[in-house]
């Protein structure tokens, strides 16, 4: 038994007052396409390099968020942002000419959930009016940083996931309007010694099982109490492992489990192997698909358990393993104090 709290419950749950999602070409051809605010067919987003393209993707997503919220950039109390690229430059170069108080975060593909948690704590705990989160990923900037030069044309293994070109953003306010962020569970790093950089799902599944089981246990809830328990992004391989690990923990997850990496693509038709991944994958699906359903009441409660593979090409070359992490937030149609 650990002594710290596995669960942080927000006494005054912030309202997610606005959200936005922008995705690239491949994502616009997948089953989730109708749900995104905006799709872009030019992988370069009008820029000269992939890294600049990803920064432009972030800028557009933030601009859209602020438009939808009717909030000028200078009215943001703070913005948590992050991405996969070294030195988090997709974020910093997206924001460098904006007058926005910026806090850089990194949890690999779990960064959007980390940002939601911290924006909620900042909004609710410090009573700030407008706290935002923004994350992105880009297939081409990530692929050449983490694996091979794109022009090398390397074969991808069946277990491999495809980094999504996608971004999501959300604005948290003290308003009394659904959806709300009700609670959270901060992840602990889990490392089972996996060293295959093409099998991120397996590296992340133990972290997902740890966090989801801790949260369910701390809240004394069962998977069936939620409309969905949404991981992002375990892909098909990691999802199978998660379900098996949860079974060992005494939880039957299958009936409510969804995974953003699995949802993003039609893997057979789009040749995307084990599914999608990246900071923008679950960010765009949470913002595009789940938040509207929680707003309307079509869904009442979901757990969003974002998973990140804390992969370093250099540490892999040095023979080291791939640690995983999973941060969880409870998103709800209701801001009240019911059982869940």
CB of 72 to a copy of itself, least distance (A): 7
| Cα–Cα distance, 210 to 261 (Å, whole number) | 19
φ, ψ (nearest 5 deg) of residue 8: -115, 115
Binding site for a copy of itself (CB under 8 A): 2-5, 8, 10, 48-49, 51-52, 72, 74-78, 82, 85-89, 92-93, 95-108, 114, 117-118, 121-122, 124-126, 128-130, 185-191, 310-315, 318, 320-321, 323, 325, 327
H or E element, residue 148: none
| Cα–Cα distance, 164 to 93 (Å, whole number) | 20
CB of 311 to a copy of itself, least distance (A): 6
CB of 77 to a copy of itself, least distance (A): 5
Q: Which residue, 310, 329, 328, 313, is CA-closest to 82?
A: 310
| Cα–Cα distance, 134 to 55 (Å, whole number) | 11
CB distance 33 to 51 below 8 Å:
no
Closer CB to a copy of itself, residue 31 or residue 125?
A: 125
Closer CB to a copy of itself, residue 52 or residue 236?
A: 52
| Tokens encoding 285 | 């699906």
CB of 287 to a copy of itself, least distance (A): 21
CB of 31 to a copy of itself, least distance (A): 30
Closer CB to a copy of itself, residue 170 or residue 299?
A: 170
CB distance 272 to 305 below 8 Å:
no
Closer CB to a copy of itself, residue 189 or residue 340?
A: 189
For the chain, the distance separating the N- and C-terminal CA atoms, rounded to the nearest angstrom, is 23
Closer CB to a copy of itself, residue 96 or residue 254?
A: 96
């Amino acid at each position: 038994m650990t002594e710290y709290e596995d669960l942080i419950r927000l006494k005054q749950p912030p309202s997610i007052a606005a959200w936005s999602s922008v995705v690239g070409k491949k994502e616009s051809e997948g089953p989730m396409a109708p749900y995104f605010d905006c799709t872009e067919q030019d992988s370069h987003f009008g820029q000269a390099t992939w890294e600049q393209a990803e920064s432009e993707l972030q800028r557009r997503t933030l601009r859209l968020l602020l438009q939808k919220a009717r909030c000028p950039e200078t009215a943001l109390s703070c913005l948590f942002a992050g991405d996969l690229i070294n030195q988090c430059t997709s974020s910093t170069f997206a924001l460098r000419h904006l007058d926005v108080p910026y806090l850089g975060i990194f949890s690999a593909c779990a960064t959007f959930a980390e940002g939601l948690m911290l924006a909620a704590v900042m909004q609710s705990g410090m009573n700030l009016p407008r706290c935002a989160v923004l994350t992105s990923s880009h297939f081409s900037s990530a692929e050449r940083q983490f694996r091979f030069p794109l022009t090398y044309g390397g074969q991808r293994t069946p277990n491999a996931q495809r980094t999504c070109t996608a971004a999501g953003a959300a604005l948290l306010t003290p308003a009394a309007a659904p959806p709300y962020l009700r609670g959270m569970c901060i992840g602990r790093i889990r490392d089972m010694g996996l060293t295959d950089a093409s099998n991120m799902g397996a590296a992340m599944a133990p972290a997902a099982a740890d966090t989801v089981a801790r949260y369910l246990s701390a809240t004394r809830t069962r998977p069936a109490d939620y409309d969905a328990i949404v991981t992002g992004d375990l892909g098909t391989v990691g999802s199978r492992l998660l379900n098996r690990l949860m079974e060992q923990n005494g939880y039957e997850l299958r009936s409510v489990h969804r995974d953003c990496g699995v949802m993003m693509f039609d893997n057979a038709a789009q040749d995307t192997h084990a599914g999608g991944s990246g900071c923008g994958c679950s960010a765009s699906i949470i913002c595009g698909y789940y938040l509207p359903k929680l707003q309307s009441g079509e869904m009442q409660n979901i757990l969003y358990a974002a998973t990140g593979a804390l992969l370093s090409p250099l540490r892999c070359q040095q023979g080291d393993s791939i640690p995983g992490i999973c941060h969880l937030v409870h998103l709800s149609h209701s801001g009240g104090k019911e059982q869940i």
